[in-house]
């Protein structure tokens, strides 16, 4: 992977709002997110309708699968930092996801969990490293960084919109095998796009190993990583299909990660370590945010399956398609506007700091869940309620997400020393793993334990849960705003 046409300095000294390399990463990520969010939207619907799982079990399985997807982004980040580099890690991840889609498509019900294991490992190698390469396009103090991540985030959601609509629709109304097979087709497009454009990245993402290490030894480390990730598949299969093992894994991986970070922190000075502590504050609160937000793939997906009308503003629409795509549509529309707003406010020294942005994200998240709760007031005698009000909830939640997620990606690159940026990006996604894990537990707790529960009983159970989540989110937002001065002192100059 040679052919560097620009130095890192030349790449970062770009003119205008966005570096041209951002578009290469934009489209590579867009197609990968097509697959990820398409899969996410299908999981619980497929497990309930095709595999015969009840609602609580489907929620727990969803949480376990999603938790491992994000947990392995931490592991992928570590191997990228130490052995593969961001580019080879991305390429290997893409190949594993292509294989996973093909496995499930061959026999969706019998090979579902095996194919999912390929997808888990593949996403782990792919996801954190492309985000880190986006951060590498900017100087540390470049005020355009947040706008760049907001545009990148719009690319994520363009893929999520397309995947959320197409894969869910194809699966529910045509063929689940074809829907899962789309993963392989679309990931191949993503891989080809990256291979054709990676030369423009210059030195970004190349091998992190010291040039003094012999080439044969480097190759040996890389091959061992590839083989080790394949050997891990049967172990991951055991963890995913047995939720008690998922619990054990989640109890271990978080503390082990903190110990490893503590070991790495001994290499840095006081200021660098304070910034890493600030990053941990953001990571902790992001766990809470995603635990609530990711009801979209679990309880809200089942709520859409059973309790929502099939029209938006009088237009016929499948509720699961709306549940899996409306948030992405709103992000596409508003992410570039919000990104440019941050730049405009920054120039006038009016931009809120990142801690306050996180707090605003939680306040909007809380408001959105109160909107989801309010759907109970529009229900008919059969427990079927307004898809219009439900969609309004996603409109509100979108602005909460835009205050937190793209800013979080940017912060991990700004607050982390270069040598642990892959690790910290992995920890950011590991926090998402814990959020997904808790989301499954919350969804299972909100769902009715009675397999014969009526739609009305399911409606009451879920909406009561959404009211509680709304309250917890509002409290978290207030706490974040209150502690913002302390966290800003830890950040020392990073806005």
Query: What is the domain-level CATH number for residue 414?
Result: 1.20.1250.20
Question: Residue 356, exposed/middle/buried by CB under 10 A (0-12, 13-18, 19+)?
Answer: middle
Asked if residue 69 lies in contact with residue 115, where contact means CB atoms within 8 angstroms, the answer is no
pLDDT band at 428 (very low <50, low <70, confident <90, very high): confident
Q: What share of the chain is helix, strand, coil (3-state, %, to 5)?
A: 80, 0, 20
316, β-bridge pairs: 311
Residue 180 maps to a domain: yes
The pLDDT value recorded for residue 408 is: 73
Question: Residue 8, exposed/middle/buried by CB under 10 A (0-12, 13-18, 19+)?
Answer: middle
Who's near 394: CB < 8 A, 6+ residues apart? Answer: 322, 323, 326, 327, 330, 368
Mean pLDDT of 48-74: 87
- CA dihedral (333, 392, 325, 284) in degrees, to 10, reads 90
Asked if residue 388 lies in contact with residue 489, where contact means CB atoms within 8 angstroms, the answer is no
Average pLDDT across the chain, whole number = 87
Residue 3 maps to a domain: no
The pLDDT value recorded for residue 494 is: 67
Show the domain range for 476: 16-491
The pLDDT value recorded for residue 98 is: 95
> How far is 414 from 494, CA to CA, in rounded Å?
7
The pLDDT value recorded for residue 495 is: 59
> How far is 261 from 271, CA to CA, in rounded Å?
16
Asked if residue 41 lies in contact with residue 167, where contact means CB atoms within 8 angstroms, the answer is yes
Residue 421 has pLDDT above 90, yes or no: no
Residue 455 maps to a domain: yes
Which residue is it, tokens 């679990």?
A: 298
Instruction: Dihedral sign for Cα 420, 86, 67, 193, please.
Output: positive
What tens digit of pLDDT does each residue of 261-294 get?
888 888 888 888 888 888 899 888 989 999 999 8
Residue 422 has pLDDT above 90, yes or no: no
Q: Which helix (H) or strand (E) holds 243?
A: helix 243-265
Q: What is the DSSP letter of 493?
A: T
Q: Which helix (H) or strand (E) holds 468?
A: helix 455-491
* 314: phi then psi, degrees, rounded to nearest 5: 85, -5
Segment among 88-97, 327-336, 443-452 with least mean pLDDT: 443-452
| Residue 70 or residue 379, greater confidence | 379
The pLDDT value recorded for residue 3 is: 45
Residue 10 maps to a domain: no
Residue 409 has pLDDT above 70, yes or no: no
pLDDT band at 255 (very low <50, low <70, confident <90, very high): confident
Residue 289 maps to a domain: yes
Domain tally, the chain:
1
Segment among 142-146, 394-398, 484-488 with least mean pLDDT: 142-146
| Portion of the chain with pLDDT greater than 70, in percent | 97
Task: For the beta carbon of residue 344, count every other beta carbon within 10 angstroms.
Answer: 12
Mean pLDDT of 167-189: 93
What tens digit of pLDDT does each residue of 97-122 get?
999 999 999 999 999 999 999 999 99
Instruction: Look at residue 454 and give its three-state secondary structure.
Output: coil
Residue 6 maps to a domain: no
Question: Residue 272, exposed/middle/buried by CB under 10 A (0-12, 13-18, 19+)?
Answer: middle
Residues in the chain: 495
Cα distances (Å, whole numbers) of residue 249 to 236, 245, 254, 438: 10, 6, 9, 13
Cα angle 321, 323, 326; round to 5: 85
Mean pLDDT of 405-421: 75
How far separated are the first and last CA of the chain, in Å rounded?
35
What tens digit of pLDDT does each residue of 213-247 get?
888 888 999 999 999 999 999 989 998 888 788 88
Mean pLDDT of 79-106: 91
| Residue 363 or residue 447, greater confidence | 363
Residue 2 maps to a domain: no
> How far is 297 from 295, CA to CA, in rounded Å?
5
| Residue 106 or residue 1, greater confidence | 106
Give the range with max mean pLDDT: 37-46, 99-108, 348-357, 424-433: 99-108
Mean pLDDT of 170-194: 93
Q: What is the DSSP string of 257-308?
A: HHHHHHHHHTTS-HHHHHHHHHHHHHHHHHHHHHHHHGGGTTHHHHHHHHHB
Asked if residue 226 lies in contact with residue 46, where contact means CB atoms within 8 angstroms, the answer is no
Q: What is the DSSP string of 136-151?
A: HTS-TT-TTHHHHHHH
* 385: phi then psi, degrees, rounded to nearest 5: -125, -175
The pLDDT value recorded for residue 406 is: 67
Residue 405 maps to a domain: yes
Who's near 398: CB < 8 A, 6+ residues apart? Answer: 327, 330, 331, 334
| Residue 450 or residue 232, greater confidence | 232
| Residue 459 or residue 129, greater confidence | 459
Asked if residue 426 lies in contact with residue 128, where contact means CB atoms within 8 angstroms, the answer is yes
């Amino acid at each position: 992977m040679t052919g560097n046409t620009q130095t890192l300095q030349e790449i970062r000294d770009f003119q205008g709002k966005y570096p041209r390399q951002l578009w290469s990463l934009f489209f590579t990520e867009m197609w990968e997110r097509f697959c990820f969010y398409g899969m996410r939207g299908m999981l619980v619907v497929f497990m309930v309708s095709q595999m015969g799982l009840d609602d609580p079990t489907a929620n727990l399985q969803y949480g376990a699968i999603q938790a491992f997807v994000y947990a392995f982004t931490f592991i992928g980040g570590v191997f990228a930092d130490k052995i593969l580099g961001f580019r080879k890690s991305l390429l290997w991840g893409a190949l594993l996801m292509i294989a996973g889609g093909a496995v499930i498509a061959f026999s969706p019900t019998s090979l579902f969990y095996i194919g999912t294991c390929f997808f888990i490992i593949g996403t782990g190698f792919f996801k954190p490293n492309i985000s880190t390469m986006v951060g590498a396009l900017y100087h540390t103090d470049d005020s355009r960084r947040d706008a760049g991540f907001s545009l990148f985030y719009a690319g994520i959601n363009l893929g999520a919109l397309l995947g959320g609509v197409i894969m869910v629709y194809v699966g529910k109304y045509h063929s689940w095998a074809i829907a899962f097979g789309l993963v392989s087709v679309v990931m191949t497009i993503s891989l080809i796009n990256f291979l054709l454009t990676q030369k423009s990245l210059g030195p970004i993402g190349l091998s992190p190993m010291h040039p003094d290490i012999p080439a044969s030894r480097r190759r040996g480390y890389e091959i061992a990583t590839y083989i080790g990730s394949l050997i891990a598949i049967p172990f991951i299969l055991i963890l995913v299909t047995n939720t008690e093992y998922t619990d054990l894994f989640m109890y271990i991986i978080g503390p082990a990660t903190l110990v490893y970070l503590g070991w790495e922190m001994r290499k840095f000075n006081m200021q660098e370590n304070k910034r890493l502590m600030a990053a941990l504050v953001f990571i902790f609160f992001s766990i809470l945010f995603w635990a609530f937000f990711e009801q979209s793939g679990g309880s809200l997906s089942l709520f859409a399956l059973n309790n929502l009308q099939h029209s938006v503003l009088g237009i016929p629409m499948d509720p699961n398609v709306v549940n899996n795509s409306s948030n992405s549509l709103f992000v596409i529309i508003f992410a570039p506007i919000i990104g440019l707003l941050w730049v405009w406010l920054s120039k006038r020294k009016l931009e809120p700091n990142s801690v306050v942005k996180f707090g605003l994200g939680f306040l909007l998240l809380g408001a959105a869940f109160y909107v989801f709760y309010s759907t109970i007031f529009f229900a008919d005698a059969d427990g079927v309620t307004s898809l219009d009000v439900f969609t309004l909830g996603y409109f509100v939640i979108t602005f909460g997400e835009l205050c937190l997620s793209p800013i979080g990606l940017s912060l991990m690159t700004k607050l982390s020393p270069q040598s642990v940026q892959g690790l910290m990006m992995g920890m950011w996604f590991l926090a998402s793993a814990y959020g997904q894990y808790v989301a499954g537990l919350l969804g299972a707790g909100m769902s009715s334990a009675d397999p014969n529960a009526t739609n009305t009983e399911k409606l009451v159970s879920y909406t009561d849960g959404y009211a509680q989540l709304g309250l917890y989110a509002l409290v978290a937002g207030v706490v974040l705003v209150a502690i913002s001065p302390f966290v800003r002192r830890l950040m020392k100059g990073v806005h």
